[in-house]
Structure 1
Amino acid sequence: MKKSRLGEFQELILMAVIVLEQEAYGNEIQRELEERLNERLSMGAIQTALKRMEEKGLLTAEWGEATQKRGGKRKRIYSATPYAHQVLQEMKEIRARLWDAMPGMKPNHAQ
């Protein structure tokens, strides 16, 4: 299978899905990322990224139960696939190697 590369936004959304577990639906993903990034995010952009990652096999989605709190509407709850975990691990390793290779960016432990 061809290696999948994620853009920064997709990577952040995927990580939020994993963090949120059973609460990984649109509004909670938006809230989680806005809180961590300290900026407003478009729900449309989040939904587009979720759909694309589902098409790539990085996410699965299922409908949750309808709740009175949501006016009888059901939530679409997302889960990361094993492939998503593999891609995130690869991205983490690539980033770590690049950080290690940058001159002047290594931690100085002998101060």
Structure 2
Amino acid sequence: LEQGNIDFIANLRYWAGHPGEFRGLFPRLRVSPIKPWCNATAGYSVRAMSFDEALDTINKVVENERDSHEFLYFRVAGPWLPWPQKSYVDEAMEEYKELEYELSRPDEYVRRDLHDF
């Protein structure tokens, strides 16, 4: 997060954060469920005004979900995140769209690197 990444997947088996808490004004509204990504079985959007507040919120969610899930996807938003902000999900979706476009072009020859054999 400190390097501009706005999303990540947490492995709850190895997550060693302290027990967190929901902080700030209307703290429960700062966390909302979102669609999971990759091997995560649940996802959460976290909005926070500082890195510490985001980490506390993430730790609280991890503490609550540790028995239910092994992997959680988090997407974090806040004014403290440095620019340029990078999203692994957005980058993967762009790559997927480019690949889908390449595969859908009927006038092109079949390229070996775009297909599994």
TM-score normalized with structure 1 length:
0.26
Rg larger in structure:
2
Structure with a larger share of its residues in helix: 1
Q: Which structure's relative contact order is higher, taking Cα pairs within 8 Å and 6+ residues apart?
A: 2
